[in-house]
Chains A and B, each alone.
Chain A
Amino acid sequence: MRFLRDNALTLLFLLLTVLALAGQAFSGLADQNEEQAARGAPQTTLPDYVTSSSFAVDVAENWQSEYLQFFLFILVTVWLVQRGSTQSKPPGKEGAESDEEQNVGEHAGPDSPPWARAGGLRGALYSRSLGLVMGVVFLWSWLAQSVAGWAADNDRRLGDLQDPQSWGDYLLSPDFWNRSLQNWQSEFLAVASIVALSIYLRQRGSPESKPVGSPHDATGVEG
Chain B
Amino acid sequence: MRAVLASVLVAAALTGCAQRQGGQAAAAATAVLVAAQRGDGAGACAGLVPSAAESLETQGRPCAEEIVKLGLRSGPTDGGEVWGDAARVRVGADTVFLFRWGDGWKVAAAGCRPRAGRPYECRVRT
Q: Which residues of A are in contact with B by a Cβ distance under 8 Å?
A: 39-42, 44, 52-54, 151-152, 154-164
Interface set, chain B 76-110, CB cutoff 8 A to A: 81, 83-88, 97, 99, 101-102, 108-109
Expressed in whole angstroms, the minimum distance between the Cβ of A56 and any Cβ of chain B is: 10
Question: Which stretch, B26-34, B59-67, B117-125, touches the partner chain A?
Answer: B117-125
Which of B50, B81, B85, B122 has a CB less than 8 Å from the CB of A40?
B50
Across the interface, do A159 and B51 meet the contact criterion of CB distance under 8 Å? no
Given A41-B101, A160-B119, answer yes or no on A155-B49 (Cβ-Cβ < 8 Å): no
Extra 13 A-B pairs, beta carbons < 8 Å, given A41-B99, A158-B83, A164-B83: A39-B49, A40-B50, A41-B101, A42-B102, A52-B84, A152-B84, A154-B83, A154-B84, A154-B86, A155-B86, A158-B88, A159-B97, A164-B88
Tell me, in angstroms, the Cα distance from A161 to B37 when the chains sit together: 23
Q: How far is the CA of A42 from the CA of B100 in the complex (A)?
A: 9
**A-side contacts of B19, CB under 8 Å:** none
| B 47-62 to A, binary, CB cutoff 8 A, 1 in contact else 0 | 0011100000000000
Chain B interface size, as a band, is 20 to 34
Q: Decide if B122 touches A155 in the complex (CB within 8 Å).
A: no
The answer on a CB contact under 8 Å between A159 and B88 is no
Is the CB of B126 closer than 8 A to any CB of chain A? yes
Query: In the complex, what's the smallest C-beta–C-beta distance from B108 to chain A, in angstroms?
Result: 7
- Distance between Cα atoms of A42 and B50 in the complex (Å): 11
Neighbouring B residues of A44 by C-beta, 8 Å: 85
Q: Which one of A40, A44, A53 has the greatest number of beta carbons of chain B within 10 Å?
A: A40
